Amino acid sequence: MDKEKLIQYGLEEQLLPKHVAIIMDGNGRWAKKRLMPRSYGHKKGVERVREIVRASSFFGIQAITLYAFSTENWKRPKEEVGVLMSLLTQYLQSEVKELHDNGVRFRMIGHREGLSPSLQELIKNAEDKTRENTTLNLTVAINYGGRDELDHAAIAFAKDVVTGQCMLDSKEFQKRLYTAGLPEVDYLIRTSGEQRISNFLLYQAAYAELYFTDIYWPDFDTEQYAKALKEFAVRNRRYGGL
């Protein structure tokens, strides 16, 4: 954490969320506004991923989870799916060293078997290489759907209960979610003006504070991020209590 940066952006350490989840939306509309192809928006979006991951480190956020590709995004034209998959591949190829040098632990959540073997391999290597890091937990949701995650966890849990591998206990169920081991999500940000969850972290966001901004993802810079974090600081969380 960089105390000077916190002061510069008007943030206070003890009022920061521990786990921020972001629905990075609006790449296509951002590009369209500039009369550019949607792929241009996705490329710019990757630059913001780099920036927001770095900013999370210097603000001292413990965990950030980014929604990169949903189980529903396969419905898009195959050229666009191809662009998104190759950007994810490039990101992993170019970024893992820097992430590792900065003490970032990388994880992927989502249905891995649905991805190409080469992408699965890159993901696994990134996870293995950064496993011991503790500065920031970076989780990228790829081929992720909250319902798919719950189905997957329910089946694994039922199997393990039936075969006597675990107790019929909700903690055991939670251990079978893709996010096992990560802190509770306390802030869910969505860019681009849409105000919906789109199948993201259905279980984990139960008591998350929600933040919606009209800014498209390629324009969501450190300044915008700090603005969102400042808003979190003034939220009053009650968890059903008084």
Residues serving a catalytic function are: 25, 73
From the list Mg ion, ligand IPE, none, which binds 67 (C-beta under 5 to 8 Å, kind-based)?
A: ligand IPE
Which of the ranges 19-27, 68-76, 125-133, 221-229 carries the binding residues for Mg ion, by CB under 5 A?
Answer: 19-27
Q: Return phi, psi of residue 231, to 5°.
A: -65, -40
Q: How far is the CB of 25 from Mg ion (least distance, A)?
A: 4
Place of tokens 């919906």: 196
In the list 40, 58, 59, 67, the residue contacting ligand IPE (rule: CB under 6 A) is: 67
Q: Dump the DSSP string for 61-121.
A: -SEEEEEEEETTGGGS-HHHHHHHHHHHHHHHHHHHHHHHHTTEEEEEES-GGGS-HHHHH
Residue 73 makes contact with ligand IPE by CB under 6 A: yes
Task: Report the amino acid identity of residue 219.
Answer: D
Cβ–Cβ under 8 Å, residues 96 and 125: yes
Residues 79-138 that bind ligand IPE (CB under 6 A): 84
Which residue number places its CB atom closest to Mg ion?
Answer: 25
Residue 194 makes contact with ligand IPE by CB under 6 A: yes
Q: Which is nearer to Mg ion, 34 or 159 (CB)?
A: 34
Q: What is the Cα–Cα distance from 116 to 108, expressed in whole angstroms? A: 14
In the list 6, 25, 39, 65, the residue contacting ligand IPE (rule: CB under 6 A) is: 25
